[in-house]
Structure 1
Amino acid sequence: MRLTFTKGGGKYDRLDIVTGAGTQPPIDCPKQGIIPHDMVHFVVEAEVATCGFLGGIAAGGDSGFAAGVDNPHHRAVERLVETVQAEAWAGAPSPDADFIALYVVTCEARGDAPLDLDAATLAAIRARLADLTARWQALPVGATLVLNLPEQRASTRPPTSV
């Protein structure tokens, strides 16, 4: 699946998605001071090798705001994306054990089972996030960043307890 992020000049960036089934409707990505939210999804889904919002689209699902809300696995991925985003906004990484504990608490507070997450996977998420952040920040308005998420990410691994 090809993801093309276009840096916008106003309040929104844009995401264009092409899957094996064809071109999806474009997604407006509200600017949030870091990389676009759906780019954080790419980081998490690529490194955890799991299906979330983007994997659901690759599997033929809807790209609407409520996509995957009834899927416990997608919700666990969303909780991880939120935790990664919060750390990115903070500007500095927390200790691995603290990050993982915060992720678990976030899942439990919403009734979701967390995904397996270890220090090596968290390091890979952080490294990819740092790389994409640097690349995104270097882009001028109107430029694009193209990312590829392998189609096999559409196969869901069930969440397990940490």
Structure 2
Amino acid sequence: MELVFTKGTGKHDRMDVIRHGAPVESIDCPKQGIIPHDMVHYAVESTLHRRGFIGRVLEGEAASFQMQGDAQSDGVERLVEVFQADGWSGWNSSPADMLDLYLVTCRARECAPLSVRAEDIEAVRGRLLELTERWQSLAAGASLTLAFEP
């Protein structure tokens, strides 16, 4: 599966989902001052090999904001939120602080946390920083294509 992120000129970027033998699905991604939310999903899921939104789309679910809850993907979503918060504050929170925030977020949402270590936080952050650099270098209208494998 390929994810094609296109930098928009207005309030949204776009993600096109390209699966072999299926129609292309597109999602408008509200701009948030960092990379698109679903690109954060890509980094978390591809680095940690966990099934979240992107993994569920790979398995054939519609790429929409209306997915039913699922223990693992709910844990991934909470972790994506923690990485987004880290991005908004400059991508420099300590792994220990991020893990603490993750546990608080999971408790607040009554979601079982995934087993995540400081090394995992650093690995995902490295991927996010690489994607951030690539995304920032794009002009409006340009795209970044990412392959996602199970």
User: Which position in structure 1 is the counterpart of 2:95?
Assistant: 96
Counterpart CA distance in 2 for 1:138 and 1:47 is 22
Separation (CA, whole Å) in 2 of partners of 1:136 and 1:64: 23
Partner of 2:86: 87
Per the normalisation by structure 1, the TM-score is 0.89
Q: How far 1:37 sits from its partner (Å)?
A: 0.4
Gaps of 5+ in 2: none
- Residue 62 (str. 1) matches residue 77 (str. 2): no
Q: Secondary structure at the match of 2:25?
A: coil
Q: Distance in 2 between matches of 1:124 and 1:90?
A: 18
The count of residues paired between Structure 1 and Structure 2 equals 150
Kindly indicate whether the alpha-carbon contact (under 8 Å) linking 1:21 and 1:60 is maintained by their aligned counterparts in 2. no
SS at match of 1:54: helix
**Which residue does the alignment assign to 2:52?**
52
Partner of 2:25: 25
**After TM superposition, what 4+ stretches of structure 1 lie above 4 angstroms from structure 2?**
none
Amino acid at match of 1:7: K
Letter in 1 for 2:105: T
Instruction: Give the SS at the match of 1:28.
Output: strand
In the alignment, structure 1 segments of 5+ residues that lack a partner are 153-162
**Matches for 1:1-162 after TM superposition, within 5 Å:** 1-67=1-67, 69-150=68-149, 152=150
Please report how far the alpha carbon of residue 20 of structure 1 lies from its aligned counterpart in structure 2 after TM superposition.
3.5
CA separation of 1:121 and 1:10: change in aligned 2, threshold 3 A: same
Partners of 1:63 and 1:138 lie apart in 2 by: 26
Using the aligned pairs only, state the percent identity. 47
User: What is the RMSD computed on CA atoms of the aligned residues?
Assistant: 1.1
| Deviation, structure 1 residue 3 | 0.4
The 2-side partners of 1:103 and 1:41 are apart by 15
- 1:21, distance to aligned residue in structure 2 (A): 4.1
Say whether the 8 Å CA contact 1:87–1:94 is kept in structure 2: yes
